Structure 1
């Protein structure tokens, strides 16, 4: 991923990105029901690398499966590129874990930028303390083999009711996660960065007691002029 683009996404909120995408007609890009295990105070940013689970069937999913070197979950952990985000389609089913702390620690050591599932993680408290952003719906202790079969790697998936294609830019903050289509990522990043500058100005004005009508959104020349002057002073 271009590091200048990554830096732009690091400086904008998911809420601002959602608005920028809405301006482009995209209404359903926030992954639903997914939250950070623990707030990190920084964004998770990276291209999507995907893993798809299907419902487990007893004749195919016993503990012996984990001994196989080509098990898709294990392969995902070892092949998700550094700087990417592993996004898992767990069918919005947190009754069995999508992964646990050992696998996610391995991804952290390998330089993976983050991990997202619309299911749950086991060892959630431990994962929350790791220096890798992780998002799920809730803690889940049973092994994934009890209900999920890891099947496909790096193909289009659905995660939390959002279509995720390999290479889409995944951004998570201390609230939630959003998916930015790869083809418009640069444009969205630029727009969101500009929106963030104005929003920072608005917050200062509101704290000073200025009413939001005409200010947010800006519909009055007086606020446009004040923003221009503020921006010059701030060097932004």
Structure 2
């Protein structure tokens, strides 16, 4: 992705991005129900590379399937491009794990930017220590074969009720994850950067005792004038 766009998205919150997308009529871009396995104190940003799970059929999903070199879950780990976020449609079902620490460590070593599943992850305590942001519903020990079959790589999916198309820009912070349609990424990053500057100004004003009305949103000219002076003083 565009390095300048990525850098801007590294500095803004998912909440701010959600508002920017809402202005454009997009209300369902936050991936619902997922949380950081371990907070990283920095944003996860990258294009989406997807894996879709479907309900497992018992005769197709024995442990021997993992010996198949063409198994979609394994192939996805080995083909997800560097800098991409691996996003899994696990049917919003955390009863069986979407992946574990060995596969995600391999993804990290290959340069993956992060992982998102609307299911669960096994070995969650170990995954939380990886230097790669990972998001899931909750820890889950059973292998995915018990309930889910990895069936399709890099296709449009639903993850936590959000539509995800390959190449969409995924942003995660220490709260949650959002999906930015690829064609909107640059303009949304620009707007969110502007919104973040104003919000930082507002926080300072509120801590100094300012009232919210007329400040947030900025409907009084005196507050806009103060903001302009604040931006100049703070090089924002």
* TM more than 0.5: yes
- Establish whether residue 50 from structure 1 lines up as the match of residue 50 from structure 2: yes
Q: TM-score, normalised by structure 1?
A: 0.99
Report the counterpart of residue 170 of structure 2 in structure 1.
170
Displacement after TM superposition at 1:30 (Å) = 0.4
Aligned residues: 236
Residues in 2 aligned to 1:2 and 1:189: alpha-carbon distance in whole angstroms:
11
Displacement after TM superposition at 1:113 (Å) = 0.1
SS of 1:59 mapped into structure 2: helix
SS of 2:48 mapped into structure 1: strand
Cα deviation, 1:73-120, whole Å, max 9, x if unaligned, reads 000100000100000000000110000000000001011000000000
Residues in 2 aligned to 1:167 and 1:231: alpha-carbon distance in whole angstroms:
34
Displacement after TM superposition at 1:59 (Å) = 0.8
Cα deviation, 1:141-167, whole Å, max 9, x if unaligned, reads 000001100000000000000110000
Report the counterpart of residue 6 of structure 1 in structure 2.
6
Report the counterpart of residue 185 of structure 2 in structure 1.
185
Q: TM-score, normalised by structure 2?
A: 0.99
What runs of 5+ residues in structure 1 fail to find an aligned partner?
none
Residues in 1 aligned to 2:97 and 2:156: alpha-carbon distance in whole angstroms:
21
Q: CA RMSD in A?
A: 0.4
Displacement after TM superposition at 1:3 (Å) = 1.0
Report the counterpart of residue 211 of structure 1 in structure 2.
211
Displacement after TM superposition at 1:2 (Å) = 1.3
Residues in 2 aligned to 1:212 and 1:81: alpha-carbon distance in whole angstroms:
45
Give structure 1 regions of 4+ aligned residues with deviation exceeding 3 angstroms. Answer: none
What runs of 5+ residues in structure 2 fail to find an aligned partner?
none
Cα deviation, 1:5-61, whole Å, max 9, x if unaligned, reads 110100000000000000111111100000001110000000000000000011100
